[in-house]
Structure 1
Amino acid sequence: MHENVRTLLDTLELEKLEENLFRGTSPDNGWQRVFGGQVVAQALVAAQNTVAQDRHVHSLHGYFIRPGDPTIPIVYEVARLRDGGSFTTRVVTGIQHGEAIFTLSASFQRPEKGLEHQATMPKVPGPDDIIGQEELTTRILESAPDAVRHYWMRPRPIEFRPVSFEHYLTGDKLPPAQNVWVRCLSDIGDDPKLNAAVLAYLSDMTLLDTSLFAHGMSIFDRRVQAASLDHAMWFHRPFRVSEWLLYTQDSPSSSGGRGLTRGSLFSADGTLVASVAQEGLIRLRQKSQPDV
């Protein structure tokens, strides 16, 4: 198993402190704050640990309240709101320094059959038809701005293959949309709970960027103060994160210092497996900034 994938799985292995109380740690990667996708994934794992094995997450809604401190553990407190005949509801609060840094509501359902329809996957080049990480590094990132190059060359457990890299290399105003092929670097098996947690982890990557493309900017732009404010996901159909998924994203609106971005995750055969929505702070920096 790839070393970065093993680190991710270790990060998702929470310590049980007491009934409904869990503790998670962050990898030592030198970041100033905890990656938002990690907090979403750990909170989901905490909720999963209190739910019957035959019930799987179908939706989650989270709010980032304070930046996470990567140097100390995060304590996750789970409230069991409901255990019904078909649905189970949990609320999870992530706590550091005695204060809430994140809150998650998640709903779980026993699998059942129902009416079926879905959006169509856009026609884009497949992951084997676009450049991989090695070629991206040698052909494109070598001349990219430092912040862009450092981000895309950073070791991670997820492989990304953007269909187009133009958004990150130009100051032109472009349509606020992008398509990125993603997959876990190692096979983590078929466990739906673990696959859901890893998908939640990776779903916070590249999403906020999309809301800035219409303005000729990216999250690497020093003029922009950017941070995720909330995160929502809906899980539609079974999937494996070790297989290629197309993450198609668009931003319908930005206003009031915030940008809204939507995402759809399709398996390679065109099956819609999950949907995502996130609002993020995209405030232009000024001499004096209010707190987030």
Structure 2
Amino acid sequence: MASTAARIEPHVAVIPAPELGRDTYTNANPLTLHGGSRPVFGGFLVSQALSAACFTVPDTFQPYSSQSSFLAPANGNEKIIYRVQRPWEGRNFLTRVVHATQGVDCVYVAVLSFQSVASPTGINSLEYGTPKPELDQPPEDIDPDSMQALQSSLLDRSASVMQQSAEDRPLDWRPHSMEMSEDPTQFRVRGYVRSPTALSTSDCSTHLAAFAYASDEFFFGPALAANPVAVGRGARNVTMGASLTHNVSFHDPNAKIDQWAVLERETTWGSAGRVMVQQKFWNMEGKMILSSSQEALIRLKGARI
């Protein structure tokens, strides 16, 4: 077991705030990723809502679904309060609803579902999963700075995400390849991700919260990369980009974020100022870890939406 926390762990951590009521939590650490950043990155909210919900669930239950909506921008210089509701307590399934607030404003809401580890599996159940793409280059052979290079080819240097170096990021991203096409729905980006250092715990809730965080990093990037002409060089034609909804299904509760995972992302639809992106994660042995979807707002210059 690691003696010190990995960089991702403070990002997903919450602490109880009993003075504010039962099942109430707040972020344990600052929400900014680098100096001068005020809007909160959505991965903080997705992962910390899951961490808060896990505090209210017995150890015999594991999360399998997170369905959430971003309602308003959150300020990175203020605490976020996570209030957990318990609408359903079943023998095999539990549901939690988390409202994230700042002041009087609800900035984010999530519905999180849990299943008992004692629920029967492998007996009278369907067993299958989408195969992992076969990548011809292992992550160790990919330059750790390649994600920065890829971002530089897609985004203007003034974008906030461009202010981070590989050493600043809580996760190690190694892009492998992009399949381009005139049809945006045929675009694919593939690569690897993991925590660069081992987590200080083997607790599944921390690892899954870290995967939830990872699921939001660079997520609507495929919609930009798949439409290079409309987006323009360095995304110069984009006037706004924001996540609207974010859904994650966890397929392997024992997945470890400090082990390499393979990921594939695509965009399946765009219209009315919104885009839809999809992703899948596998472990190196080919078992699916999670699948996820996000709807995002992307406004271009001259748009009247």
1:263 aligns with 2:279: yes
What is the CA–CA distance in structure 2 between the aligned matches of 1:219 and 1:152, rounded to whole Å?
A: 20
After TM superposition, the score normalised by the length of structure 1 is 0.87
Structure 1 residues 115-149: Cα deviation after superposition (integer angstroms, max 9, x where no partner): 31111111223433642214666x87888853579
CA root-mean-square deviation:
2.9
What is the CA–CA distance in structure 2 between the aligned matches of 1:136 and 1:55, rounded to whole Å?
A: 36
Indicate how the Cα distance of structure 1 residues 142 and 235 shifts in structure 2: closer, same or farther if over 3 A, else same. closer
Letter in 1 for 2:208: A
Q: CA deviation at 1:153?
A: 2.7
1:199 aligns with 2:211: yes
Q: CA deviation at 1:220?
A: 5.2
Write out the 4+ residue segments of structure 1 that deviate beyond 4 Å after TM superposition. Answer: 1-4, 134-137, 139-145, 172-175
1:21 aligns with 2:24: yes
What is the CA–CA distance in structure 2 between the aligned matches of 1:184 and 1:262, rounded to whole Å?
A: 22
Match of 2:61 in 1: 55
1:221 aligns with 2:235: yes
Q: CA deviation at 1:5?
A: 3.2
Structure 1: where are the runs of 5+ without partners?
A: none
What is the CA–CA distance in structure 2 between the aligned matches of 1:58 and 1:251, rounded to whole Å?
A: 23
Q: Is the 8 A contact 2:146 2:174 kept in 1?
A: no
Moved more, 217-226 or 101-110: 217-226
Indicate how the Cα distance of structure 1 residues 218 and 226 shifts in structure 2: closer, same or farther if over 3 A, else same. farther
After TM superposition, the score normalised by the length of structure 2 is 0.83
Structure 1 residues 211-234: Cα deviation after superposition (integer angstroms, max 9, x where no partner): 222311389513211111110000
Q: CA deviation at 1:12?
A: 2.8
Q: CA deviation at 1:64?
A: 0.3
What is the CA–CA distance in structure 2 between the aligned matches of 1:235 and 1:208, rounded to whole Å?
A: 20
2:290 to 239, 263, 274: 274
Matched ranges for 1:1-292 at <5 A: 5-6=6-7, 8-18=8-18, 19-24=22-27, 25-28=29-32, 29-30=34-35, 31-111=37-117, 112=119, 113-114=121-122, 115=125, 116-128=127-139, 130-134=141-145, 146-147=157-158, 150=162, 153=165, 155-164=168-177, 175-188=186-199, 189-216=201-228, 217=231, 221-224=235-238, 225-237=240-252, 238-286=254-302
Moved more, 251-260 or 217-226: 217-226
